[in-house]
Chains A and B, each alone.
Chain A
Amino acid sequence: MKKIIFLLFGLIACAYCLFPFYWTVVTALKPPSKIFSLPLEYFPWPISLENLYRVWEKRPFGRYLMNSLVVSGGGTFLSLFLSSLLAFRLRYLPVSRALALQRWLLIASIIPPTLLVIPIFMAIKALGLVNHLLGLILSYTVLNLPFGVWLLYASFSKVPRELDEAALLDGFSRLGILFRLLLPLSRTGLAVAGILIFIFCWNEFLLALTLLQDQSHYTVPVGIALLSGASAYEIPWGEINAAVALTTLPVILLVALFQSSILEGLTAGALKG
């Protein structure tokens, strides 16, 4: 009996959480003529791929996806690289000092990005990288660095220090220890950090909106938020929903595949909202 009640509540929670996504997919699969018609259809049949086709063929959506991939991939790679270096150095400090240093990193990183957008814009401008994907990659790297350091430091510390010393005796260089011993041993931590940072970059909107001006540089969120119709007055909701569905799909797959590690990483990080 108790189990059934719980199951019922679970179903309600599922419906509540999934409904917006379900509705997006339903709208995306309706033929364009049915989107603006009443009464609403909750289970469209037959489905139509017209909207998906339009957003793919008639709009630079492929371009947006490429940009998003480049930016998120680049940002993830750079932050993982730099944060593994930093976490590696922190490993050789006394634990209390390492934690104290990370405390400062954390404090810097919980400031909402809204408040950082103006300083970041000025910094990227000084580098001459406004309207350049590299500028966005660098800002993402900086924003995600504390989180990466934190996760990697934690997973490095699961590896006993004696192993390092043994490796040193075997003639490994310092960096050799990092790249050939520590990183392979903390694969899981690295993967979790990578997935989470990738999701953060993939979802980021404000900086992408501010730093990129040229439509050919838009990432997916900016592209969708500024997607407009053939005139200023009609909003192409079918295509927007198709684009939303296509964008969220990779994220959903990532989350479904790595659910428990993501939960663990987030709890460890408890960092981003």
Chain B
Amino acid sequence: MLPYLEFANSIFSFRVGKANLKINSKGFFFGAIVKTFLRILGLGVIAVLLGVSGTCLAQRVVLRMIGPEDVNGAWAEIIKRFEARHPDVKIKYISGPWSTDDRQNMYLRSFLSGDPIEIVYMDVTWTAKFAARGWLLSLDPWFSPHEGSAFFPGALKAGYYQGYLYRLPLTVDVGVLYWRKDLVSRPPRTWRELEDTCRLHAHPPELYCLVFQGMQYEGLTCNFLEFLWAAGGQILDEKGQVAIASPEGLSALNFLRKLRLKNWVPKAVLSFQEQHTLEFFLKGRAIFMRNWPYALRLINQSPLRGKVGLAPLPSKTGAPTPGTLGGWGLGIARGTKAPEKAWAFIAFATSAEAQKILYLKRGWLPARKELFRDPTLLRENPALKDLYFLLERARPRPVHPQYPRISDTLQKHVSAVLAGVETPEEALKALSETLKFIIRGSRENYLRRLLLDYELKETLAHTLFFSAVSVSLEFLLGFLLALLLATPFPGRWWVRLAVLLPWALPTAVMAMSWQWMLNNPFGVINDLLLKAGLISHPVDWLASPEGAMWSAILADVWKTTPFVVIILLAGLYSIPRELKESLEVDGAGPLKRLFYLTLPLLLPFVRVALIFRLLQALGIFDLIWVLTRGGPADSTRTLGLYLYDLAFRYDEVGYALFLTVLFVFFLMVMSLLIVRLTTLEYERRS
């Protein structure tokens, strides 16, 4: 087996000037490429033909949409009723992942692929991005403006981009304050009143004052915006310029920090999404909770029934703060073959009839005002009246094509302030600078952007740290394991098998396993460390920046050490026994033999392993994407994830490709450098 490895080595010592491609080989080579290409083309044509004939045979227009799992069959019911009235249309509901972000990425990839999913079932924040790229059809030809008054104004307004309507609202959501009627006499109107109540009634750790969604995800943006609006600030001004660096912005961040410092807000909010917040509140451990209206139904099924009221969020001055508007709507993708049919479906799905089904089966609040006056619904849920008041005042999040990046940036710095990693002043400055780059940067040329790109610098630093640490650890461990396996002992075959296994298992799948092992508090790693007495209480490994990075390194070392072992083992086998013996005869000890015989002869193998491992580590994606998705606070985001985000989330394919080319070039130079540095004098001569 060794000749191939030597060959592998020789490959890295090539010289470009040698003009290896002669005409003969070239002709053959390109001939093969052309043939392959033609074959691929043929297959493509066949596939397209099959697809076309499939649709022709069906004779019905098929329209697809992606949504979360259809619990209780609400969508099935709506689709059934619609298809009964339009027998020529078939609606295919694709059950996507629960994460809003993942579903957005699915739509995005379908638009990029040129085969758009016809009906766009979209969150309130997607409109601007999709519309700005021209991926949506304007609904204005069909929608008459006077119908608009039937919807909540904010919800309808969120569907407009630059004067055209792209999205019709289906359901609405708004941030509200839940308060314990049995503990306090009335909900706070101002921040001062909130502080007073906290001081009087809260006694942590049994009873905290306020809980909200503080994890680094879209929910934190919604929560923070409410604090910002309560202080009178805003992210972007009317002209679309960044306006967060203001006294109002600072006081919002200061107030958040104060709530946390005084321990009125539990530390755990940093890992809270909606459900965790609600669970905490239902256990009676907080006086106030910021959440969406869906929580009401669950509160009414719990022991807290009748003890909880709804109120607008408090503000700095006393004027009721608008809650963040959420909710879902429908649009039509550009390139849809039968837009009229798609419109017919949208018109039906946003009708009062369909919205009522969604409300009754799923509890999603309708975007049509009339349903809030529906006597049957009101009898079942009298709180609809309060919600109506709040929904009319709900405020949409900033409308900007780059909204996802704006939101990512907000989350990162707000969560850093909550965690105490950044002071409010620092966070505000970083926030303002990054947002300015995002909003201005997309107009600059690539080279200028490269210099301004703050995220690139960060991800590059993470990538280099990750690669350096994990590759060194792998070599250390791999060398020891290889030495072990090169010596015969009983059961060696089995040990070799065990060592080889992690390499062969699917990375993405095993990353899921690691995530489970690192779980808090049910993870086995916490349990083992507790038993060994190394930690005193369970650690939330994936929630802190350092913990997440080291977890990723740990998993990567586990996964890829076998590769190093395999290569080094082959190297050890290649060292002739006689050499070792003759050195022994000459009186060289084990250490001397290691440094003067084993290591130099192993060098070519180390070189191969090093280049492969470094390239793989620098380009890491699967493991980190599944384990942490780059979080928390982007602390494990590597270059691979950034490029992927740029291309498939932020839709900056051109810039992503530019970075890719630069990176490939860098990797090539690095590989050649490694070859140079690890080639010894005598090797070069031979």
CB within 8 Å of B: which residues of A? 3, 6-7, 9-11, 13-14, 16-18, 20-21, 23-24, 27, 35-40, 82, 85-86, 89, 93, 97, 99-104, 106-107, 110-115, 117-119, 121-122, 125, 127-132, 134, 138, 150, 154, 199, 202-203, 205-206, 210, 213-215, 220-222, 224-226, 228-234, 237, 240-241, 244, 247-248, 251-252, 254-256, 259, 262-264, 266-273
Given A110-B611, A118-B656, A270-B609, A202 and B506 contact (CB-CB distance below 8 Å): yes
- Check A241/B14 contact, CB under 8 A, given A132-B47, A154-B4: no
Question: B4 touching A205 by the CB < 8 A rule?
Answer: no
Q: Please give, as numbers and ranges, the residues of chain B lying within 8 Å of A244 by CB-CB distance.
A: 509-510, 512-513
Q: Identify which of residues 470-524 in chain B touch chain A, using a CB-to-CB cut-off of 8 Å.
A: 481, 484, 487, 489-502, 504-514, 516-517, 519, 521-522, 524
Does A267 lie within 8 Å of B1, measured CB to CB? yes
Contact at B566–A203, with CB atoms within 8 Å?
A: no
B489 pairs with A10, CB closer than 8 A: yes
Kindly provide the distance from the CB of B465 to the nearest chain A CB, expressed in whole angstroms: 17
Report the minimal beta-carbon distance from A117 to chain B, rounded to whole angstroms: 7
Interface size on B, residues (CB 8 A): 120
Q: Which residues of B contact A111 (CB under 8 A)?
A: 615, 619, 664, 667
Q: Taking CB as reference atom, which chain A residue is nearest B26?
A: A101
Question: Are B48 and A110 touching (Cβ within 8 A)?
Answer: no
Is B504's CB under 8 angstroms from A241's CB? Answer: no
Are B481 and A114 touching (Cβ within 8 A)?
Answer: no
CA distance A149 to B471 in the complex (A): 28
Q: Are A128 and B115 in contact (CB under 8 A)?
A: yes
A130 to B115, Cβ gap below 8 A?
yes
Q: Which residues of B contact A232 (CB under 8 A)?
A: 68, 98-99, 273, 275
> Do A20 and B32 have beta carbons less than 8 Å apart?
no
Contact B69 A131 (CB under 8 A): no
Asked if B500 and A262 sit within 8 Å, CB to CB, the answer is yes
Tell me, in angstroms, the Cα distance from A9 to B496 when the chains sit together. Answer: 12
Tell whether, in the assembled complex, residue B656 and residue A273 are in contact, meaning their CB atoms are under 8 Å apart.
no
Q: How far is the CA of A249 from the CA of B505 in the complex (A)?
A: 9
B contact residues around A229 at 8 Å (CB): 98
Q: Can you name 19 A-B pairs with beta carbons within 8 Å? A: A10-B484, A14-B498, A17-B562, A21-B505, A27-B516, A89-B28, A101-B29, A103-B11, A119-B657, A127-B40, A130-B110, A130-B114, A214-B94, A225-B626, A231-B275, A233-B275, A252-B501, A267-B5, A267-B570
Query: B494 is contacted by which of A14, A110, A117 (Cβ under 8 Å)?
Result: A14
Cβ-based interface call for B381 (8 A): no
CB of A252 to closest CB in B, whole Å: 6
Q: Are A86 and B32 in contact (CB-based, < 8 A)?
A: yes
Known A114-B644, A259-B500; judge A128-B109 contact (CB<8 A).
no
Tell whether, in the assembled complex, residue A13 and residue B115 are in contact, meaning their CB atoms are under 8 Å apart: no
Chain A: which residue is nearest B574 at the CB level?
A267
B678 adjacent to chain A (CB < 8 Å):
no
One of A103, A134, A226 near B20 (C-beta < 8 A) = A103
The distance from the CB of B436 to the nearest CB of chain A, in whole angstroms, is 27
Q: A13-B499, A266-B566 are in contact. Are A114 and B508 (CB under 8 A)?
A: no
Query: Is B660 an interface position by the 8 A CB rule?
Result: yes
Note all chain B residues with C-beta closer than 8 A to A100.
14, 18, 20-21
Distance in angstroms between the alpha carbons of A138 and B40 in the assembled complex: 8
In the complex, the answer to whether A240 meets B516 with C-beta atoms within 8 Å is yes
Q: How far is the CA of A27 from the CA of B508 in the complex (A)?
A: 18
> Inside 8 A of A17's CB, which chain B residues have their CB?
498-499, 501-502, 558, 562
Considering the chains assembled together, what is the distance between the CA atoms of A234 and B522 in angstroms? 14
Q: Choose one: B29, B521, B620; the contact of A114 (CB below 8 Å).
A: B620
Are B509 and A35 in contact, CB atoms less than 8 angstroms apart? no
Chain A nearest CB: distance from B552 CB in Å?
A: 14
Cβ of B521: which chain A residues have Cβ within 8 Å of it? 38
Per DSSP, chain A at the interface is: helix
Nearest chain A CB to B630's CB is how many angstroms away? 13
- Among B95, B510, B558, contact of A215 (Cβ-Cβ < 8 Å): B95
Asked if B490 and A118 make an inter-chain contact with CB atoms under 8 angstroms apart, the answer reads no
Find the A residue at minimum CB distance from B562: A17
B524:A40 contact, CB within 8 angstroms: yes
Q: Tell me whether B622 and A206 are in contact (CB under 8 A).
A: yes
B10 is an interface residue with CB less than 8 A from chain A? yes
A78 CA / B113 CA spacing, docked (Å): 24
Residues of B within 8 A of A20 (CB): 502, 510, 513-514, 517, 558
B276 → A minimal CB distance (Å): 7
CB distance from A92 to the nearest CB of B (A): 9
Q: Name the distance in Å between B636's Cβ and chain A's nearest Cβ.
A: 15
The answer to whether A129 and B519 touch across the interface, beta carbons within 8 angstroms, is: no
Tell me, yes or no, whether B71 is within 8 Å of chain A by CB: yes
Looking across the interface, which residue of chain A has its beta carbon closest to that of B108? A213
Min distance, Cβ B512 to any Cβ of chain A, angstroms: 6
Contact B512 A225 (CB under 8 A): yes
A7 contacts B660, C-beta separation under 8 Å:
no
CB-CB < 8 A to A221: which residues of B?
Answer: 506, 508-509, 622
Closest to B33 in A: A86
B663 within 8 A of A: yes
A residues near B29, Cβ cutoff 8 Å: 101
Whole-angstrom CA separation of A184 from B484 in the bound complex: 37
A121 to B651, CA, bound (A): 13
Whole-angstrom distance between the Cβ of B294 and the nearest chain A Cβ: 11
Is B454 among interface residues, defined by CB-CB distance under 8 A?
A: no
Given contacts A114-B621, A130-B112, A138-B40, 13 further A-B contacts (CB under 8 A): A17-B562, A18-B501, A20-B513, A100-B18, A101-B25, A112-B667, A121-B112, A134-B47, A214-B94, A221-B506, A224-B512, A248-B506, A255-B504
Interface check B608, CB cutoff 8 A: yes
With known contacts A99-B10, A128-B47, A225-B512, A115–B566 Cβ distance under 8 A: no
Known contacts: A20-B514, A101-B29. The answer to whether A270 contacts B608 by CB under 8 A is: yes
**Contacts A115-B660, A267-B566 given; does A6 touch B484 at CB 8 Å:** yes
Q: Verify B501–A118 contact, CB threshold 8 A.
A: no
Given contacts A112-B640, A270-B5, contact A21 B501 (CB under 8 A): yes
Given A13-B481, A112-B616, A233-B276: A7 and B489 interface contact (C-beta under 8 Å): yes
Q: Is the CB of A263 within 8 A of B505?
A: no
CB-defined contacts of B569 to chain A, threshold 8 Å = 263
Q: Is B618 an interface residue (CB 8 A)?
A: yes
- Min C-beta distance of B347 to chain A, whole Å: 26
* A71–B439 alpha-carbon span in the complex (Å): 41
Query: What's the minimum C-beta distance from A189 to chain B, rounded to whole angstroms?
Result: 11
Query: Which residues of B in the span 659-676 have a Cβ within 8 Å of any Cβ on A?
Result: 660, 663-664, 667-668, 671
* CA A214 to CA B103, docked complex, whole Å: 11
Determine whether the beta carbon of B481 is less than 8 Å from that of A220. Answer: no
On whether the beta carbons of A97 and B20 are closer than 8 Å, the reply is yes
Are B48 and A128 in contact (CB-based, < 8 A)? yes
B245 at the A/B interface (Cβ < 8 Å)? no
CB distance from A11 to the nearest CB of B (A): 8
The 8 A CB mask of B35-69 against A (1 = contact, 0 = none) is 01000110110011000000000000000000011
With a CB–CB cut-off of 8 A, which chain B residues contact A27?
A: 516
- Nearest CB of chain A from residue B541's CB, rounded to whole Å: 14
Q: In the complex, are the beta carbons of B513 and A273 less than 8 A apart?
A: no
Q: How many Å from the CB of A128 to the closest CB on chain B?
A: 6
Give CA–CA (A232, B276) in the complex, Å: 11
A40: B residues at CB distance < 8 A: 522, 524, 527
Say yes or no: A13-B506 contact (C-beta < 8 A), given A7-B490, A103-B20, A132-B47.
no
Q: Does B443 contact A (CB under 8 A)?
A: no
Cβ contact of A199, chosen from B112, B504, B625, B668, cutoff 8 A: B504
Q: Is B567 an interface residue (CB 8 A)?
A: yes
Residues of chain A within 8 A (CB-CB) of B609 are: 270
Most buried by A among B10, B11, B71, B562: B11
Cα–Cα, bound, A213→B95 (Å): 11
Is B506 within 8 A of A104, CB to CB? Answer: no
Note all chain B residues with C-beta closer than 8 A to A234: 275
